[in-house]
Structure 1
Amino acid sequence: MSIENYRLATIEEFIGRELGVSDWVVVDQARIDAFARCTGDLQWIHVDTERAKRESPFGGTIAHGYLTLSLLAPLAMEIGLIPEGASAGLNYGLDKVRFMTPVKAGARVRNRVTLVSVERKGGGRVILKTMNELQIEGEEKPALVADTLAMLVA
């Protein structure tokens, strides 16, 4: 996706504006299980579907918070976070993360991204701060809100 007139040279004009909303992506049990294996976080509330149906206050398994956090970058890239004129965008860190609502296995989520600030560092480097809201289809509260930092390289 491309954001009209969004370029490295004009990026300051977009401060305070919503850059876009990604498509919906399914957080299914297979994705949750793969994340659990990759990270070693095999807590039953994520991977034991039968036990979670019986004992979880959510009626089934839920995604790891860090799995939902990891979805922000690819969904921001989908909307076109890296502007024309930048050769690369690198994760630079997080300023704030709050996990608001668990994501149940099978739920669909999307990322709503707003540009908060732009800091030109010299040498063709620019730090973007964005506010990300990972929304859950059919839920009033988002899964998480996070201020993320990306370094752009011209």
Structure 2
Amino acid sequence: MSIKEYSLAKIDDFVGRELGLSDWVVVDQARIDAFAQCTGDQQWIHVDVERARRESPFGGTIAHGYLTLSLLAALAIEIGLIPEDASAGLNYGLDKVRFMTPVKAGARVRNRVTLVSVEKKGGGRVIVKTMNELQIEGEDKPALIAESLAMLVA
């Protein structure tokens, strides 16, 4: 998706504006299990469905916080964070990450992205800071909020 008139040349005009809202993504047990396998985080609250039904305060398994955090980049790209006149967009870091509400297995999430600031670094490089709110369908509080940094390259 592209954002109307959003480009490296006009990026300053978008500071303080919402860039968009991604489509919903399902965080199912298969995704949670794959993340656990990749990271080695096999804590029962994420991967033991039966035990989580019995013992978890959430009534079932929940996604890893870092799994939900890892969804931000792809969902921001889906919205159009990397303008068409940029040759690349690279992760640059994170600020102020807060995990607010656990994401239950099977829940749908989406990312609301707002451009917070733009810092020109020279050589066609620009660092953008975005506020990301990973919303959970049917929940009042988001799964997480995070300021993320990306370097856009002309």
Report the Cα offset of residue 117 of structure 1: 0.1
Q: 2:145 and 2:102 mapped to 1: Cα distance?
A: 12
Same amino acid, percent of matched pairs: 86
Aligned to 1:93: 93
Report the Cα offset of residue 85 of structure 1: 1.5
Q: 2:84 and 2:56 mapped to 1: Cα distance?
A: 46
Q: 1:102 and 1:112 mapped to 2: Cα distance?
A: 17
Q: 1:84 and 1:7 mapped to 2: Cα distance?
A: 7
Aligned to 2:32: 32
1:82-111 deviations in Å (ceiling 9; x for gaps): 012210000000011000000000000000
In the alignment, residue 54 of structure 1 is paired with which amino acid? Answer: R
SS at the partner of 1:9? coil
SS at the partner of 1:8? coil
Q: 1:102 and 1:75 mapped to 2: Cα distance?
A: 18
The gaps in structure 2 that reach 5 residues or longer are none
Aligned to 2:127: 127
Q: 2:53 and 2:16 mapped to 1: Cα distance?
A: 42
Aligned to 1:60: 60
The gaps in structure 1 that reach 5 residues or longer are none
Q: 1:74 and 1:96 mapped to 2: Cα distance?
A: 19
Q: Does 1:49 align with 2:41?
A: no
Q: 1:42 and 1:84 mapped to 2: Cα distance?
A: 40
Aligned to 2:21: 21
In the alignment, residue 120 of structure 1 is paired with which amino acid? Answer: K
Aligned to 1:69: 69
Q: CA RMSD in A?
A: 0.3
1:22-75 deviations in Å (ceiling 9; x for gaps): 000000000000000000000000000000000000000000000000000000
Q: Give the TM-score normalised by the residue count of structure 2.
A: 0.99
Q: 1:77 and 1:114 mapped to 2: Cα distance?
A: 13
Task: Spell out structure 1 runs of 4+ moving beyond 2 A.
Answer: none
Q: Give the TM-score normalised by the residue count of structure 1.
A: 0.99
